[in-house]
C-alpha cells in the first residue's frame, strides 16, 4: 500500500489505475481508524477496482472551541490497518496542500444543515461539504463510502452530490458498534472508564425508543421525552440535542409515519458523542 501527500501524486496514482481499467472507490476519513472505517474500506474493496482512503483532519469543519488540536492522529497505525483491509493508497495531505494561502471557496448546503449537528456546530457542514467536494474533485471516484453513524453528514453529502451533479455513487454503510453497543468513534478514546460506562446510555436509550415504537408509540414528543429522561438519569451525561425528523427529508414531524431519524448528541466531560437510529413508523 502506498501513502501519498500531494494532490499531484494521488491524481497520478488514480490516472494509472483508470488506464488499467479499474473503477475507483474513495473512503474519506480523518484518521485514527476504527472498525467503522475499516468496514467502509471493506465495502469499497468489494465494489471497486482500487480503494483510495483519505486521512485528513479537516480544520474547516471544527469550531473555534472544538477538539481540532487534540484530535487523535496516528498515521503509522492507520496505514497498517488500512493495508490489512486492502486499501491501495492513502492520501494524507498537509493542511497547506488542501487550503493554500489565499484559499477562499466554500460549499454551503442549505436547509438540511440547519438542525441537529448543523445547529449545535455552526459552520461544521460547510467545512465537511467543502473538503468532501475537494476530495471528489481530486480523486474523481466512482463511489464514495460514508458511515450511517454520521447520518446527517451522509444526507448532506448525498444532497450536495445530487444538487451539484457530481458523477459518483454515495454509499452509506450501517453503524459499527462495540460488543456492548457503543457506536465506534475516533472520539471514544477521550473517554475515561467511568465516562465509557456512562456512554452506554446512548445506544440503550435508542434501543428503548425502538421498543416503544414497536409497541405502538407514534407520538414524536413522547419518544423524545423517553430518550431524554433515560439520558438525564445518567449523571455523567449532558444532552446537546435529542431530535426526530422525517428520513431522509429531515422535515419536522409530530407523528411517526414512514421512516424517521432519531438522532442525539450528548457530552461526557469534554467529549461529545453522537448516535442515531432509523425509526420505522
In the shown chain, the binding pattern of residues 10 to 39 toward ligand PAF, with x for contact by CB under 6 A and - for none, equals ------------------xxx---------
| Residues between 143 and 162 with contacts to ligand PAF, criterion CB under 6 A | 150, 153
Q: How far is the CB of 27 from ligand PAF (least distance, A)?
A: 9
Q: State how far the Cα of 280 lies from the Cα of 261, in Å rounded to an integer.
A: 9
C-alpha to C-alpha distance for 37 and 11, rounded to whole angstroms:
23
C-alpha cell at 64: 473555534
Kindly state whether residue 243 participates in binding ligand PAF, applying the rule CB under 6 A: no
Q: Catalytic residue numbers?
A: 37
Q: Which is nearer to ligand PAF, 106 or 221 (CB)?
A: 106
Min dist. Cβ of residue 263 to ligand PAF (A): 15
Closest Cα partner for 279 from 207, 181, 184? Answer: 207
Q: Is 176 in the site for ligand PAF (CB under 6 A)?
A: no
- Beta-carbon contacts of 99 under 8 Å, excluding residues fewer than 6 positions away, are 59, 60
* Cis peptide upstream of residue 248 (ω within 30 degrees of 0): yes
Residue 189's contacts (CB-CB under 8 Å, 6 or more residues apart) are: 32, 72
Q: Report CA 128 to chain centroid distance, whole Å.
A: 10
The site for ligand PAF, by CB under 6 A, has a size of 10
Largest CA distance in the chain: 58
150/234 with CB nearer ligand PAF: 150
Q: Is 118 in the site for ligand PAF (CB under 6 A)?
A: no
Name the minimum Å distance from CB 259 to ligand PAF. 22
Among 48, 112, 128, 277, binds ligand PAF (CB under 6 A): 128
Q: Cβ of residue 208: shortest distance to ligand PAF, in angstroms? A: 27
Amino acid at each position: 500500500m502506498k501513502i501519498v501527500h500531494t494532490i499531484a501524486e494521488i491524481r497520478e496514482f488514480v490516472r494509472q489505475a483508470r488506464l488499467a481499467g479499474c473503477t475507483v472507490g474513495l473512503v474519506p476519513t480523518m484518521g485514527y481508524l476504527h472498525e467503522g472505517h475499516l468496514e467502509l474500506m471493506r465495502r469499497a474493496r468489494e465494489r471497486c477496482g482500487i480503494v483510495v482512503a483519505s486521512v485528513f483532519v479537516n480544520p474547516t469543519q471544527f469550531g473555534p472551541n472544538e477538539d481540532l488540536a487534540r484530535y487523535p492522529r496516528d498515521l503509522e497505525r492507520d496505514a497498517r490497518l488500512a493495508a490489512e483491509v486492502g486499501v491501495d493508497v492513502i492520501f494524507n495531505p498537509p493542511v497547506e496542500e488542501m487550503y493554500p494561502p489565499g484559499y477562499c471557496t466554500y460549499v454551503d448546503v442549505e436547509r438540511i444543515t440547519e438542525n441537529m449537528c448543523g445547529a449545535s456546530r455552526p459552520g461544521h457542514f460547510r467545512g465537511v461539504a467543502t473538503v468532501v467536494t475537494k476530495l471528489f474533485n481530486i480523486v474523481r471516484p466512482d463511489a464514495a463510502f460514508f458511515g450511517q453513524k454520521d447520518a446527517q453528514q451522509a444526507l448532506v453529502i448525498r444532497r450536495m452530490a445530487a444538487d451539484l451533479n457530481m458523477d459518483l455513487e454515495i454509499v452509506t454503510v450501517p453503524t459499527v458498534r462495540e460488543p456492548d453497543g457503543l457506536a465506534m468513534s475516533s472520539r471514544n478514546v477521550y473517554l475515561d472508564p467511568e465516562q465509557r460506562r456512562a456512554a452506554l446510555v446512548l445506544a440503550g436509550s435508542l434501543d428503548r425508543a425502538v421498543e416503544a415504537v414497536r409497541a405502538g408509540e407514534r407520538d414524536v414528543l413522547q419518544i423524545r421525552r423517553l430518550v431524554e429522561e433515560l439520558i438525564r438519569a445518567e449523571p455523567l451525561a449532558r444532552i446537546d440535542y435529542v431530535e426526530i425528523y422525517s428520513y431522509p427529508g429531515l422535515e419536522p414531524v409530530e407523528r411517526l409515519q414512514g421512516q424517521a431519524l432519531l438522532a442525539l448528541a450528548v457530552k461526557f466531560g469534554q467529549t461529545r458523542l453522537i448516535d442515531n437510529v432509523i425509526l420505522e413508523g
